[in-house]
Amino acid sequence: MSSQLSFEINGRTADLPLISGSEGETAIDISKLRSETGTITLDPGYVNTGACTSGITFLNGEKGILRYRGYPIEQLAENSNFLEVSYLLIHGELPNAGELEDFERNITRHTLLHEDLRHIYQAFPKGAHPMAMLSCVVNALSTFYPDFSSTDQKGVDLAIWRLLGKMPTIASWAFKKNIGQPFIYPSNKLNYCANFLSMMFRVPAVDYEPAEEFVKALNVLFILHADHEQNCSTSTVRLVGSSQANLFASIASGIAALWGPLHGGANQAVLEMLMMIHNDGGNVGKFVEMAKDKDSGFRLMGFGHRVYKNFDPRALIIKNYCDQILEKVGLHDPLLEIAKQLEQVALEDDFFKERKLYPNVDFYSGIIYKALGFPVDMFTVLFALGRLPGWIAHWAEMRQSPPKIGRPRQIYTGAIERPFLPLEARG
């Protein structure tokens, strides 16, 4: 295969290099296209545009493959834990026993929030969305740690430990603020996921000890969400970070991008869809037929994926945990019964099978979160907690490259040059 592609545009010739990835993917390097031909590419949504090279995550949507740093997601979910996977994503290799112990200890040492942050929470109105609080407080961390320097590796490591340690506390306090309960401080005796569940559901008057099944399921969900290549929020973190914005500000921007219903809000949309079906009488068949009718305006949430054209490998993993959690809680929830019926239809109906509209990770994660007791508006927050190490890894990888601020081009379609008319001359 040629190492470059030559073609002519508007009478000018361009010789563009072909770049090959380690998994056989090929890309045309168009970085000199405009300078050599005066032409740019147009790719709405950047669905065919590679904004960077990356060694963090490999995703093959056609084959249903997801790997972190070369390790299959199935093996990591079964054998690892969230902080070990976080170390892998951020540092590039699995830690040895000593490295993992140091990493976990440093994160645990930074779980407390500065007491002045309580005033920020108190200023939020009752009912403020927890994603807004999460983004705001993460951004505010840069005011509490202004000495952070992205050129000092020790400073970067410290910021990473602070973010990973404080994010569960920030998230749980957003939940407590909205329900009017006192903030619960972290416990260094508990592991990462158990500590988060404790801060969420414990109250001073009653002890709370999360079931092992709950801790394991949350740990696996966090692993499955830890990174997913160049999605909307990760690309946002990279773009903001390219301006040399600090880590806290860059992560806060990723949280804001994740908030959208087409991204991190998808599992919330699943539960809202189930509620709509339930309130309409629970007739699953009726809504399945509506989903098949393109003119109905209704679509089933939690089915299919923008990237995966096969079964989402994360959904295959979490489905088993979904069944375990429902059995553990012994919950007879009409919404969960509707979800099971929809799943059965999608797996058996030719309409869905031909279009590869399988249940995705959002479908199952929303069901698990509800069974664990999380309110719907916390679902996207849980997604953010899981995605945090991936965001950090991409920010760090981007900063190791030669500095180059992101600056997309555009095709202008507005009015051509025209003269300014005085007010009295305008019709």
Which span out of 24-33, 219-228, 288-297, 324-333 was modeled with the highest average pLDDT?
A: 219-228
Encode pLDDT of 321-346 as tens digits: 887 887 787 766 787 788 888 888 87
Q: What is the pLDDT of residue 46?
A: 87
pLDDT recorded at residue 148 = 66
* Dist. CA 299–CA 262, nearest whole Å: 13
| 224 domain residue, yes or no | no
118/239 same-domain check: yes
| pLDDT tens readout for residues 193-206 | 999 999 999 999 98
Q: What angle do CA 145, 147, 149 make, to 5 degrees?
A: 110
Catalytic residues: 305, 362
Q: How confident is the model at residue 383, as a pLDDT?
A: 95
For 254-283, what is each residue's pLDDT tens digit? 999 999 888 888 788 888 899 999 999 989
367-395 pLDDT tens trace: 889 889 999 999 999 999 999 999 999 99
DSSP H helices, 58-152, are 73-79, 82-91, 97-108, 117-123, 130-144
The verdict on 348 and 277 lying in the same domain is yes
pLDDT for res 149? 66
Closest CA to 41 of 25, 28, 54: 28
Residue 144 and residue 270 in one domain: no
pLDDT digit string, tens, across residues 128-159: 999 999 999 999 999 999 876 666 888 899 99
Largest CA distance in the chain: 78
3-state SS class at 13: strand
Distance CA 162, CA 156 (A): 10
Indicate the number of domains in the chain: 3
Domain that holds residue 106: 73-209+230-258+377-385
Domain identity same for 112 and 29 = no
Whether residue 61 is contained in a domain is answered as yes
> Are 137 and 13 within one domain?
no
pLDDT at 427: 80
Task: Output the pLDDT for position 366.
Answer: 85
What CATH number does the domain containing 18 carry?
A: 2.20.28
Smallest CA-to-CA distance from 408 within 64, 40, 15 is with: 40
Q: What is the pLDDT of residue 174?
A: 97
What residues form DSSP beta bridges with 27? 19
Cβ within 8 Å of residue 65, ≥6 positions away: 58, 59, 72, 313
pLDDT of 1 higher than 50: no
| pLDDT tens digits, 101-131 | 999 999 999 999 999 999 999 999 988 999 9
| pLDDT number for residue 331 | 62
Question: Amino acid identity of 160?
Answer: I
pLDDT > 90 in the chain, percent: 57
Tell me the mean pLDDT in the region 246-252: 96
**Average pLDDT value for the chain:** 90
Q: Quick one: average pLDDT of 68-77?
A: 97
CATH value at residue 106: 1.10.580.10
Q: How confident is the model at residue 362 (pLDDT cuts 50, 70, 90)?
A: confident
* Pairing, β 71-72 against β 65-68: antiparallel
- The arithmetic mean of pLDDT across residues 34-42, rounded, is 87
Same domain for 243 and 112, yes or no, is yes
The pTM for the full model equals 0.91
**Whether 240 and 349 share a structural domain:** no
Query: Domain with 321 in it: what CATH number?
Result: 1.10.230.10
Question: Is residue 110 a contact partner of residue 221, using CB atoms and an 8 Å limit?
Answer: no
